[in-house]
Amino acid sequence: MADMRLVALRGANTVTENTAEAILSATDALMREILSRNGLGADDLVSCIFTLTPDLDAQFPAVAAREMGLSSVPLLCAREIPVPGALPQVIRVLIHGYKPDGTTPEHVYLGDAAKLRLDLQGAQ
């Protein structure tokens, strides 16, 4: 791992309804996009922390990660702070993993979650 460095990657996606299917689909799309853009596989990941806004409780996002083959990666789900006026129906993830040294981490914000990081618009 001498030529690798530990990075933290952020991402978010939105859903249109509080159903297990919507949460799993949005999480799967988000995770696949983050891993693809960053050239990461399951062996490169240290951990993933998922959060959901308070209006989402139909399923754990970690289920989608396990279903896509990340069952050996420690996964945690938590609740976002219910800040008044915050964007609703958002799934967020913080991934810790190893990338080749000298490469730039790419954070991914999909759907309406792109509004959360307007500074990254050019990178989307």
Which residues does the annotation place in the binding site for prephenate? 10, 92, 109
Which residues does the annotation place in the binding site? 10, 92, 109
> What's the maximum distance between 2 C-alpha atoms anywhere in the chain?
45
Residue 66 a catalytic site member = yes
Residue 98 a catalytic site member = no
Residue 117 a catalytic site member = yes
Residue 79 a catalytic site member = no
Catalytic residue among 5, 33, 37, 80, which?
80
Catalytic residue among 21, 66, 67, 79, which?
66
Catalytic residue among 5, 10, 37, 98, which?
10
Residue 109 a catalytic site member = yes
Residue 77 a catalytic site member = yes
Residue 92 a catalytic site member = yes
Annotated active-site positions, please? 10, 66, 77, 80, 92, 109, 117
